[in-house]
Amino acid sequence: MTETLVFFSIGGNLGDRKANIEETQDFILFNIGDIMISSAIYETKAWGMPEETPLFYNQILGVQTSLTLMQIAQEIKEIDEYYGRVRKKEGYANREMDVDVLFYKNEIHETPLIVPHPKIQERNFILTPLAEIANDLMHPVLKKSIAQLIKECEDKGEVRKI
């Protein structure tokens, strides 16, 4: 089976944030594939949530996998269940862990996940760590590099490396 490099965003703002990231890395390594590259962990304010919301830890991972996008979606569902996360259609919620697929190959998908993630270009907390490990990566829909997307991003929220 062909190996694919998939970019994930992982992060949360509840519980032991660093331990949750490490545990999620272990889950991904065991169930999805080899972590080939990872950004530093960044601390950020909650995006789209009230000011008093606890700060998030976020990290981007580049994972080599032979899984299909459908299989990856099932694994993410298991992570959600482990952390007690219920995904809602509207709004954002505090959570111990959130795992999103940012890019799968250079492909565009509507199901089982929307890939590339539809809000990458709006979120500095995604773009900053992604640029650390994949600055030249081209967005297959927007036809712009991550470096270009950072320059154009209107989100100026602080993204602090820890």
DSSP 93-112: ---S-EEEEEEETT--B-SS
Residue 48's pLDDT band, with cuts at 50, 70 and 90, is confident
Q: What is the pLDDT of residue 53?
A: 87
> Is the model's pLDDT at 118 over the cut of 70?
yes
What's the CATH code of the domain at 125? 3.30.70.560
> Higher-confidence residue: 111 or 120?
120
> What SS3 class is residue 13?
coil
User: Measured between alpha carbons, how far is 104 from 102 in angstroms, rounded to an integer?
Assistant: 7
State the burial class of residue 132 (Cβ atoms within 10 Å of its Cβ: 0-12, 13-18, 19+).
middle
Percent of the chain with pLDDT over 90: 78
Whether pTM > 0.85 for this model: the answer is yes
Helix axes of 17-31 and 69-82: crossing angle, nearest 10 degrees: 140
Residue 90's pLDDT band, with cuts at 50, 70 and 90, is low
Residue 33 domain boundaries: 4-161
Number of domains in the chain: 1
Q: Is-contact 6 103, C-beta < 8 A?
A: yes
